[in-house]
Amino acid sequence: MEPIGDEIAYDQERLQQFVRGQARAHGLSRRSLLRLLALATGPVATVAASAGPARAGTPGIPTIVKPLPPEVFTVRGTNAETNFQALAGLGRNEPASHFFVRNHTATPNLDAASWQLRVFGDGLRGAPSVTEAVTFDYHDLRRMPARTVDAVVECAGNGRSFYATQQGQAVTGTAWRLGAVGQARWRGVPLSTVLRRAGITDAAVDVMPQGLDDEYVADGVNLGRVRRPLPVAKALDDVLLAYEMNGAPLPPDHGYPVRLIVPSWVGIASIKWVGDIEVSTRPLLSPWNTQFYRLFGDAWPGGASPPLTTQVTKSAFELAWNATLRGGTSRRVHLTGRSWSGRGRVTKVEVSTDATATWRPARLLDRPAPDQWVRWEYDWHRPTLGPAVLAARATDETGATQPTNVALNTQGYLFGAVVLHPVTVT
């Protein structure tokens, strides 16, 4: 960074601090400040004057708005992974301050007052084109009957790094440990209500929500805005157009003003910052259900799996990686963690303190519920001092449990195997 005498560099730094929540604007809204900064500076102007997204990869322009303290988050490119030890002692729903962020580009600066949802396509009565779309504004949604759900959102790539570290397999994508998952209380309007009011017909088969964040460029190819089709059966079932997270308006990073919440499905289905929804009588395609979010590899000889839907069963200790645990004097270590599954309620969790050689039941601290994780605890008695490998294994109501290995897929999705967690007891 240039010295502060350089006005442009200074204003860029100021903007960064403001966006990180480290600076105050003294009564100015963030929007107004961005406008002022746009007038004051050249390079920032293109970003700010559009009231649109900062472009990912622009040096010095953060892609996530909320503070990312290192105790809580591990930053991975444009994304932030929740450190599981930061969830210890928190409720079943976690605060937005701790919720992981997965951004393809950057959190856009949107305004609920001017926001509109445009619904269009040949699956609606009258087949309105995108320019003739049925529109809803923020207050229209707020006036409709609301529903509240406690639900996990999890990235399909959560656990991806363990393909390399446990199975010796190279995969592409963000090298998450287990913290690309979170649970919150979401409130909003059932997507079915909006689709019915927009005039969905029996001929509709797919619904494609699209985000208002910047277009996503991968390997030099512009793939357009983030969007992914949902079959009508799911769209009319339990999907929410959410405008609240834990009783407050959605924070910018989590989709303000309105996002989809698609319970139990891979996180990419839960499109943030939704701006339009196409309703189609033919199946729709986007890169997010063709080249991404399917399983590719030798285990799928025909080409690829169908587009991913539900998440697999997983477990995580609320411990740092290579944590040091004090077990010396009390001869007992209290372990806690969380387990979840997209296929049904988690009904059983077992813990191993000897690298999966033996397993003992953990005690569930929450009543098993669909779309939610359960917290659990385990007392490790008389631990031997020195290094140890912990493991946790959950089983859901369908009987789906966590294997020791999973078949490789080249993009490293759905790592549901038991994770070996190294610790040291002192």
Ligand X SMILES: Nc1nc2c(c(=O)[nH]1)N[C@H]1C(S)=C(S)[C@@H](COP(=O)(O)O)O[C@H]1N2
102 binds Mo ion (CB under 5 A): yes
The correct pick among 66, 177, 187, 254 for binding ligand X (CB under 6 A) is 254
Strands 314-317, 147-154: pairing kind: unpaired
CB-nearer residue toward ligand X: 252 or 383 = 252
CB-nearer residue toward ligand X: 270 or 315 = 270
Residues 376-395 that bind ligand X (CB under 6 A): none
155 binds Mo ion (CB under 5 A): yes
Strand partners, 425: 325, 386
Residue 165 Cβ, how far from ligand X at the closest point, in Å? 21
Burial of 356 (0-12, 13-18, 19+ CB in 10 A): middle
Q: Which two tokens stand for residue 105?
A: 């580009």
The correct pick among 119, 189, 226, 400 for binding ligand X (CB under 6 A) is 226
Confirm if 264 and 343 have CB atoms less than 8 A apart. Answer: yes
Binding pattern for the stretch 287-326 against ligand X, x by CB under 6 A and - elsewhere: ----------------------------------------
Cis peptide before 257 (omega within 30 of 0): yes
104 binds ligand X (CB under 6 A): yes
Residues 326-365 that bind ligand X (CB under 6 A): none
Residues 15-74 that bind Mo ion (CB under 5 A): none
Binding pattern for the stretch 252-271 against Mo ion, x by CB under 5 A and - elsewhere: ---------------xx---
The correct pick among 15, 37, 56, 153 for binding ligand X (CB under 6 A) is 153
Confirm if 405 and 286 have CB atoms less than 8 A apart. Answer: no
Q: Residue 402 binds which one of Mo ion, ligand X, none, with CB within 5 to 8 A depending on kind? A: none
In 3D space, the residue among 127, 125, 64, 106 whose CA is nearest the CA of residue 213 turns out to be 106
The correct pick among 41, 93, 264, 270 for binding ligand X (CB under 6 A) is 270
Confirm if 39 and 86 have CB atoms less than 8 A apart. Answer: no
- The tokens 């393809």 sit on which residue? 104
The correct pick among 53, 211, 263, 416 for binding ligand X (CB under 6 A) is 211
CB-nearer residue toward ligand X: 98 or 345 = 98
228 binds Mo ion (CB under 5 A): no
Amino acid of residue 340: W
| Phi-psi category of residue 297: left, alpha or beta, with phi > 0 → left and psi -120 to 50 → alpha | left
179 binds ligand X (CB under 6 A): no
Confirm if 184 and 200 have CB atoms less than 8 A apart. Answer: no
In angstroms, rounded to a whole number, what is the distance separating the alpha carbons of residues 122 and 199? 10
CA 416-418-423 angle, 5° bins: 135
Residues that bind ligand X (CB under 6 A): 99-104, 153, 155, 211, 213, 226, 254, 267-268, 270-273
